[in-house]
Chain A
Amino acid sequence: MKSRYGASPLHLLVHLAALALAAWALLQVLQLGGWERIVIWLVGAVVLHDAILWPAYATLDRLALRGRPAGWANYVRVPVGISALLLLAFFPVICGKGDATYMRVSGESWDGYAARWLLVSAVLFVVAGTLYLVRSRSGSSS
């Protein structure tokens, strides 16, 4: 069994049990209104990461590193990465995407999210730049 299947029968049984439960949940989804959109989002989440997000940041990183000494790369990578992470996690508030709904729900409007994101990003860049200056002056690099 092991030679042809590639693992123990237990491996097969555990996977079959999990797939059966997952299939039940997915069958429930197919009965919901707008199930086509749910399926699109399930597939889209993988496409977003594997075909857009990862290739984008990996390519940018390779281009940024090309032909340059490795020492300074992290001073750019870390603040740019955290700034992009904030944009990813808070895209709807930063771009005011839920503004109309928020107004209807709370009676208030969102103000200054994009400005605060840019401000925090600027602080990250300044801190990284200062660290780079201090460390390159003192001659040590990490």
Chain B
Amino acid sequence: MRTPPGPFRPEFWKSPLRGPWLTAVFGSLLLILMVAVALTGFLSHAAYQPDLGRNALVGTDVPFTTFFDWPTGPSWLYAFTQGLHVTGGLVALPLLLAKLWSVIPRLFQFPPVRTPAEGIERIAIALLVSSTGFLFATGIANMQYWYVFRFDFVQAHYYASVVFVVALAVHLVVKVPVALRAYRSRGVLAPLRQSLAETRQEPDGDTLALRPDPPTVSRRGLLAAVGGGSLVVLVANAGQSIGGPTRNLAFLAPRRSGGFPVNKTADGAQVTEAMVGADYRLVLRGGASELELSREELLALPQATHTLTLGCVEGWSTRQTWTGVPLLELARRAGVPDADELLVESLQPAGVLRQATLARGQVADTRSLLALQVGGQDLTLDHGYPARIIVPGLPGVHNTKWVGTLTFRA
């Protein structure tokens, strides 16, 4: 069989920088970031507490259930893990591109498969590249509110990450020995000490050029350029998670505007002024009886004030001072002082996230509030007037706004 022209011919490849050591360096750095991004992704799944009530956003038959209750402290916990997930993913993008560049000659290897072992390896690689590309593309679009994909983001992103994790695991089994061999024979850092004039092609490997061009950049120069790309992306986005003055620095973050950002407007949620007017009553369910409380009656109950961080799944956060009735106080009044869980339902007429179920530890935390005010002012309608939930460490959208009914269960 004749070798097709172009990249299928070994002489097509000219860069003297490609080789197992360079791939190992990009791969190692990418691995550290991707492990953090994958872990925080699955932690976010756990933070939604899919085992409770109707919290699950991914099919309930998923065998990977959570083995622990999501903690309530520190209050910035979810803001941190999810900020790391989103910004970590963005920062990994240049490393991913560099890693793919370093091994791209293998894509055009001819013949494509020489042994059954190589064939099955290539299937696993195809799954790895495909799931990685999918996770980056959907993640980037979703965190910028571009729902161009027109499928359920959470479910698709979740199952693609399962494919990614297993494909990555098998890739590590095959390639870690190759990377370690490259580190042992070249030294982990030694190639970084070579100037442009001293840069030569690595002595062996399956991505080497047959007749390499003279180098136009040293390996440390290439690494610095890729790292510079990661750094610029970090600065461009991280401020929306960290907050404070860094928010202004985050020049391309979708949530860079200051103040207290709104996640869903009352208009978007179809909550009207009429629904929250003088006739508004919070329905409190628990024991045998049912209680109805007006906003004035809620304001007359014991109040508490706490400064807590609200973290969004999209990777931005805001820290505010909330005042309201502790959930524990409401649990007592509902006749369930030792509640096992709490179902919160919004006045919002439709949507999966119009309700959320909270765990025992979240109801029991004294900082968990049915907030009536924020920053010393009554809540605005867009922020959940007349009353909203704020629980430390809870994913943003589970801090239900426009609360209509609280059902405590023993």
Closest to A88 in B: B93
Q: Are B152 and A12 in contact, with the CB atoms below 8 A?
A: no
Closest to B89 in A: A89
CB of B145 closer than 8 Å to a CB of A: yes
A112 CB to nearest B CB, Å: 9
Inter-chain CA distance A5–B117, complex, in Å, is: 6
Q: Are A6 and B141 in contact, with the CB atoms below 8 A?
A: no
Closest to B263 in A: A105
Q: Kindly list chain A residues whose C-beta atoms are within 8 Å of the C-beta of B155.
A: 32
CB of B100 closer than 8 Å to a CB of A: yes
Closest to B129 in A: A46
Q: Are B152 and A105 in contact, with the CB atoms below 8 A?
A: no
Q: Kindly list chain A residues whose C-beta atoms are within 8 Å of the C-beta of B93.
A: 85, 88-89
Q: Are B156 and A32 in contact, with the CB atoms below 8 A?
A: yes
CB of A11 closer than 8 Å to a CB of B: yes
Contact for B252 among A102, A104, A113, CB less than 8 A: A113
Inter-chain CA distance A44–B134, complex, in Å, is: 8
Those of B131-146 within 8 Å (CB) of chain A: 131-134, 136-138, 140-141, 144-146
Q: Kindly list chain B residues whose C-beta atoms are within 8 Å of the C-beta of A117.
A: 251-252
CB of B307 closer than 8 Å to a CB of A: no
Those of B169-215 within 8 Å (CB) of chain A: 169-170, 173-174, 195-196, 214-215
CB of B167 closer than 8 Å to a CB of A: yes
Total A-B contacts with CB atoms under 8 angstroms apart? 209
Closest to B61 in A: A28
A43 CB to nearest B CB, Å: 7
Contact for B94 among A6, A54, A85, A101, CB less than 8 A: A85
CB of B225 closer than 8 Å to a CB of A: yes
Q: Are B141 and A92 in contact, with the CB atoms below 8 A?
A: yes
CB of A63 closer than 8 Å to a CB of B: no
Closest to B173 in A: A14
Inter-chain CA distance A104–B263, complex, in Å, is: 9
Q: Are A28 and B229 in contact, with the CB atoms below 8 A?
A: no
Q: Kindly list chain B residues whose C-beta atoms are within 8 Å of the C-beta of A26.
A: 159, 163
Q: Are A6 and B233 in contact, with the CB atoms below 8 A?
A: no
Q: Are A74 and B217 in contact, with the CB atoms below 8 A?
A: yes
Inter-chain CA distance A32–B159, complex, in Å, is: 10
Q: Kindly list chain B residues whose C-beta atoms are within 8 Å of the C-beta of A94.
A: 252
Closest to A108 in B: B257
**Quick one: CB contact mask for A12-25 with B, threshold 8 Å, 1 for yes?**
10111111011011
> A86-B236, A107-B262 known; A18 and B170 CB under 8 Å?
yes
Q: Are A82 and B228 in contact, with the CB atoms below 8 A?
A: yes
Q: Kindly list chain A residues whose C-beta atoms are within 8 Å of the C-beta of B136.
A: 45
Contact for A21 among B97, B140, B166, CB less than 8 A: B166
CB of A135 closer than 8 Å to a CB of B: no
Q: Kindly list chain B residues whose C-beta atoms are within 8 Å of the C-beta of A108.
A: 257, 261-262
> A81-B229, A85-B94, A85-B233 known; A45 and B137 CB under 8 Å?
yes
Q: Are B123 and A19 in contact, with the CB atoms below 8 A?
A: yes
Those of A32-87 within 8 Å (CB) of chain B: 32-35, 37-38, 41-46, 48-50, 53-54, 65, 70, 73-74, 77-78, 81-82, 85-86
B401 CB to nearest A CB, Å: 13
A108 CB to nearest B CB, Å: 6
CB of B127 closer than 8 Å to a CB of A: yes
Q: Kindly list chain B residues whose C-beta atoms are within 8 Å of the C-beta of A25.
A: 159-160, 162-163, 166
CB of B2 closer than 8 Å to a CB of A: no
Q: Are A49 and B100 in contact, with the CB atoms below 8 A?
A: yes
Closest to A27 in B: B159
Inter-chain CA distance A92–B147, complex, in Å, is: 10
Inter-chain CA distance A82–B126, complex, in Å, is: 27
Inter-chain CA distance A24–B236, complex, in Å, is: 37
Contact for A101 among B127, B138, B146, CB less than 8 A: B146
> A15-B124, A102-B145 known; A6 and B115 CB under 8 Å?
yes
B221 CB to nearest A CB, Å: 7
Q: Kindly list chain A residues whose C-beta atoms are within 8 Å of the C-beta of B170.
A: 14-15, 17-18
CB of B349 closer than 8 Å to a CB of A: no
Q: Kindly list chain B residues whose C-beta atoms are within 8 Å of the C-beta of A35.
A: 151
Q: Are B174 and A102 in contact, with the CB atoms below 8 A?
A: no
Known: A46-B126, A70-B215, A116-B251. 5 other contacts (CB 8 A): A6-B118, A25-B160, A37-B151, A45-B132, A107-B267
Query: What 5 A-B pairs are tightest by C-beta distance, nearest first?
Result: A45-B133, A6-B115, A98-B145, A6-B117, A92-B144
Chain B residues with a Cβ under 8 A of chain A: 59, 90, 93-94, 97, 100-101, 104, 107, 114-118, 120-121, 123-124, 126-127, 129-134, 136-138, 140-141, 144-152, 155-156, 159-160, 162-163, 166-167, 169-170, 173-174, 195-196, 214-218, 221, 225, 228-229, 232-233, 236-237, 251-252, 254-255, 257, 261-265, 267-268, 382
Q: List 19 A-B contacts (CB under 8 A).
A: A22-B166, A25-B163, A32-B155, A34-B150, A41-B138, A41-B149, A42-B134, A45-B129, A45-B132, A46-B130, A46-B133, A85-B232, A86-B233, A92-B144, A97-B146, A101-B147, A106-B261, A116-B251, A142-B195
